[in-house]
Structure 1
Amino acid sequence: MLLVILPVRRILTHFAKQLPELSHPLIPSNWIGEETMFKSRGSCVAQFFWLTLALAIAFDSTLAFAEAIVRVNLADSVPRDSNTDRYTTLRNDTRPVMRDSSRFIFHSKGKPTKPRKTKAKTNPYTRLAFERQLPPELSASDEILIVPRARWVDEWKVFKPFVRRAPQDQEAPARFAVSFPFPLTQKAWLTLYPLPRDSLRAAVEVDVPRNATLDFAIGVLEAWQQLGSVRFELQACLGGDCESLFREVIKIREAGQPALGWLDRSVDLTQYAGKEVELRFRADAADESNRLPVAFFADPVLRQVSAPKPTGPNLLLISIDTLRADHLGSYGHVRDTTPYLDNYFETNGTIFDECVAASSSTLPSHMTMMTSLNPAVHGARNTQPYQLPKRAVLLAEWLRDRGFATGAVTENGAIARARGFGRGFATYREFRDSESATNRRTVESTFREGLRVIRSMQDDRFFVFLHTYKPHNPYVPPEGYEELFGKSKPFDKTTPFYDWTPTQYDREIRYVDDLLRNLLDTLAREGLLDNTIVAFTSDHGEAFLEHGYRAHGALVYEEVLQVPLMLSGPGVPKGHRVSAPVALLDLMPSMLGLLGEEVPVGLMGKSFRDLLVDATSKTNAQDKADATRAWRTRPIFSEAFIERAVHRTGVTKLLQPTYAVRQGDYKLIRLRTRSGHRYELFNLALDPGEKKNIFAATKPLSQRMKKLIEDYEDSAAILRTNLHESVSKSSDSLSPEETEMLRSLGYVE
Structure 2
Amino acid sequence: MKISEIDSHQSFLIPADPEMALQVMGAFDPASFNSVAVSLHAAKQLRFTVMARDQSGNSFTTPRVESTNTADEQVLVFDLEGFPVSGAPFNLLAVSVRGRVEPVAVNYIDLLYKPPGLSLPQPDSGPQLIRAADEMRTGVAVAPGRGVWARGAVPPNAELRFSYLQPKGFQRESGGELRLELSNPGGVQLSESYPLDEAVGHWREVRVPIDLFSGQDMHVSWSLPSGVDGACALAEVGIRTGAGRPQHVLLITSDTHRADHLGHAGRGIDILTPNLDQLASKGIAFENCFTSTNVTNPSHIALMTATHPRDTGVLSNHEPINSSAATLAEAFRAAGFATYASISSRHLSHHTSGLGQGFDRMVHPFGASVSDAAQAMMPVQLWLDESQDVSTFTWLHLFDAHTPYAPPQDLTEAYYGEVERAYDESLPKLKGDQRRALELYPGLRDLTMPPAMYRGEITYLDRELGKLLSRADMANAIVAFTSDHGESLGHHGIYYEHRGLYPDAIHVPLILSYPAAPAGRKSAVPIRQIDVGRTLLDLAGAFSAEFPGNNILVQAEEGGDGRRFALAAHGAAASITDGPWHLIIDLPVNGGRRGEGHIVRLFNLADDPGAEHDLLERRHAKARELYLELVSWMRATEDRGWRGGLVTDAETLRQLETLGYTAATGAEVETIELLPENCKCTYCRRMRAVR
Matched residue, 2:314: 380
Shift of 1:234: 2.6
Structure 2 CA distance for partners of 1:574 and 1:204, relative to 1, 3 Å: same
> d(CA) in 2 for partners of 1:252 and 1:457?
20
Structure 2 CA distance for partners of 1:483 and 1:147, relative to 1, 3 Å: farther
SS of the equivalent of 1:265 reads: strand
Structure 1 gaps of 5+ residues are 1-100, 111-119, 149-158, 168-173, 179-191, 254-259, 287-291, 612-623, 643-655
Question: Of 235, 240, 265, which residue of structure 1 is paired with 2:206?
Answer: 265
Matched residue, 2:387: 457
> d(CA) in 2 for partners of 1:315 and 1:164?
50
Structure 2 CA distance for partners of 1:127 and 1:599, relative to 1, 3 Å: closer
> d(CA) in 2 for partners of 1:166 and 1:248?
35
Pair 1:672 & 2:587 matched: yes
> d(CA) in 1 for partners of 2:79 and 2:90?
6
SS of the equivalent of 2:505 reads: helix
Pair 1:703 & 2:624 matched: yes
Which of 354-363 and 206-215 deviates more? 206-215
> d(CA) in 2 for partners of 1:709 and 1:575?
35
Pair 1:248 & 2:248 matched: no
Matched residue, 2:221: 279
> d(CA) in 1 for partners of 2:213 and 2:544?
37
Pair 1:362 & 2:290 matched: no
> d(CA) in 2 for partners of 1:496 and 1:397?
41
Shift of 1:691: 1.9
Question: Of 331, 338, 351, which residue of structure 2 is paired with 1:398?
Answer: 331
Pair 1:340 & 2:274 matched: yes
Pair 1:209 & 2:153 matched: yes
> d(CA) in 2 for partners of 1:237 and 1:347?
50
Question: Of 235, 244, 249, which residue of structure 2 is paired with 1:299?
Answer: 235
Shift of 1:323: 0.8
Whether the aligned pair in 2 keeps the contact of 1:144 and 1:164 (CA below 8 Å) is no
Shift of 1:606: 4.4
> d(CA) in 1 for partners of 2:177 and 2:258?
49
SS of the equivalent of 2:415 reads: coil
Structure with more relative contact order (C-alpha pairs < 8 Å, separation 6 or more): 1
Matched residue, 2:633: 712
Structure 2 CA distance for partners of 1:635 and 1:314, relative to 1, 3 Å: same
> d(CA) in 2 for partners of 1:587 and 1:558?
19
Whether the aligned pair in 2 keeps the contact of 1:361 and 1:553 (CA below 8 Å) is yes
Question: Of 734, 737, 741, which residue of structure 1 is paired with 2:648?
Answer: 734
Pair 1:425 & 2:369 matched: no
> d(CA) in 2 for partners of 1:592 and 1:385?
27
Question: Of 569, 580, 585, which residue of structure 2 is paired with 1:641?
Answer: 569
Structure 2 CA distance for partners of 1:203 and 1:126, relative to 1, 3 Å: closer
Structure 2 CA distance for partners of 1:265 and 1:736, relative to 1, 3 Å: farther
SS of the equivalent of 2:475 reads: coil
SS of the equivalent of 2:331 reads: helix
Q: Which amino acid aligns with 2:586?
A: L
Matched residue, 1:61: none
Count how many residue pairs are aligned between Structure 1 and Structure 2. 547
> d(CA) in 2 for partners of 1:161 and 1:659?
59
> d(CA) in 2 for partners of 1:134 and 1:221?
30
Deviations 1:427-473 (A, max 9, x none): 3233334331xx5xx42121122122223223233322211111211
SS of the equivalent of 1:484 reads: helix
Alignment of 1:224-235 (within 5 A): 229=174, 231-235=176-180
> d(CA) in 2 for partners of 1:514 and 1:247?
42
Structure 2 gaps of 5+ residues are 1-33, 38-44, 50-55, 99-109, 118-142, 424-429, 664-691
Deviations 1:638-694 (A, max 9, x none): 12115xxxxxxxxxxxxx332111000001111114354221111111222212222
Deviations 1:116-171 (A, max 9, x none): xxxx9x99x999999975999x96879834759xxxxxxxxxx999986999xxxx
SS of the equivalent of 1:303 reads: strand
Whether the aligned pair in 2 keeps the contact of 1:329 and 1:339 (CA below 8 Å) is yes
Q: Which amino acid aligns with 2:224?
A: R
> d(CA) in 1 for partners of 2:321 and 2:92?
31
Shift of 1:380: 2.9
**TM-score normalised by structure 2 residue count:** 0.68
> d(CA) in 1 for partners of 2:277 and 2:257?
18
> d(CA) in 1 for partners of 2:203 and 2:88?
22
Matched residue, 1:32: none
Whether the aligned pair in 2 keeps the contact of 1:230 and 1:283 (CA below 8 Å) is no
Pair 1:510 & 2:459 matched: yes
Whether the aligned pair in 1 keeps the contact of 2:305 and 2:325 (CA below 8 Å) is no
> d(CA) in 2 for partners of 1:496 and 1:666?
33
> d(CA) in 1 for partners of 2:197 and 2:452?
50
Matched residue, 2:263: 329
SS of the equivalent of 2:412 reads: coil
Structure 2 CA distance for partners of 1:560 and 1:127, relative to 1, 3 Å: closer
Pair 1:584 & 2:516 matched: no
Whether the aligned pair in 1 keeps the contact of 2:48 and 2:97 (CA below 8 Å) is no
Pair 1:467 & 2:397 matched: yes
Structure 2 CA distance for partners of 1:271 and 1:251, relative to 1, 3 Å: closer
Q: Which amino acid aligns with 2:501?
A: V
> d(CA) in 1 for partners of 2:407 and 2:266?
22
Whether the aligned pair in 1 keeps the contact of 2:255 and 2:398 (CA below 8 Å) is yes
Alignment of 1:42-191 (within 5 A): 144-145=80-81, 175-176=95-96
SS of the equivalent of 2:310 reads: helix
Whether the aligned pair in 1 keeps the contact of 2:346 and 2:365 (CA below 8 Å) is no
Whether the aligned pair in 2 keeps the contact of 1:145 and 1:195 (CA below 8 Å) is no
Shift of 1:545: 2.4
Shift of 1:395: 2.4
SS of the equivalent of 1:598 reads: coil
Whether the aligned pair in 1 keeps the contact of 2:253 and 2:483 (CA below 8 Å) is yes
Whether the aligned pair in 2 keeps the contact of 1:532 and 1:570 (CA below 8 Å) is yes
> d(CA) in 2 for partners of 1:128 and 1:668?
50
Deviations 1:545-578 (A, max 9, x none): 2112234453111111111112223132112111
Shift of 1:396: 2.5
> d(CA) in 1 for partners of 2:618 and 2:286?
32
Whether the aligned pair in 1 keeps the contact of 2:436 and 2:494 (CA below 8 Å) is no
Q: Which amino acid aligns with 2:650?
A: P
Question: Of 387, 402, 408, which residue of structure 1 is paired with 2:341?
Answer: 408
Question: Of 508, 527, 530, which residue of structure 2 is paired with 1:563?
Answer: 508
Matched residue, 2:438: 495
> d(CA) in 2 for partners of 1:686 and 1:284?
75
Structure 2 CA distance for partners of 1:702 and 1:214, relative to 1, 3 Å: same
Structure 2 CA distance for partners of 1:593 and 1:737, relative to 1, 3 Å: same
> d(CA) in 2 for partners of 1:600 and 1:694?
44
Shift of 1:709: 1.4
Structure 2 CA distance for partners of 1:302 and 1:405, relative to 1, 3 Å: closer
**TM-score normalised by structure 1 residue count:** 0.63
Whether the aligned pair in 2 keeps the contact of 1:362 and 1:414 (CA below 8 Å) is no
> d(CA) in 2 for partners of 1:284 and 1:166?
33
Q: Which amino acid aligns with 1:496?
A: E
Deviations 1:694-720 (A, max 9, x none): 2233232112211221222122x23x2
> d(CA) in 2 for partners of 1:533 and 1:160?
49
Whether the aligned pair in 2 keeps the contact of 1:556 and 1:638 (CA below 8 Å) is yes
Shift of 1:745: 2.2
Whether the aligned pair in 2 keeps the contact of 1:235 and 1:244 (CA below 8 Å) is yes
- Tell me the C-alpha RMSD between the 2 structures: 4.6
Percent identity, please. Answer: 23
SS of the equivalent of 1:516 reads: helix
> d(CA) in 2 for partners of 1:537 and 1:738?
26
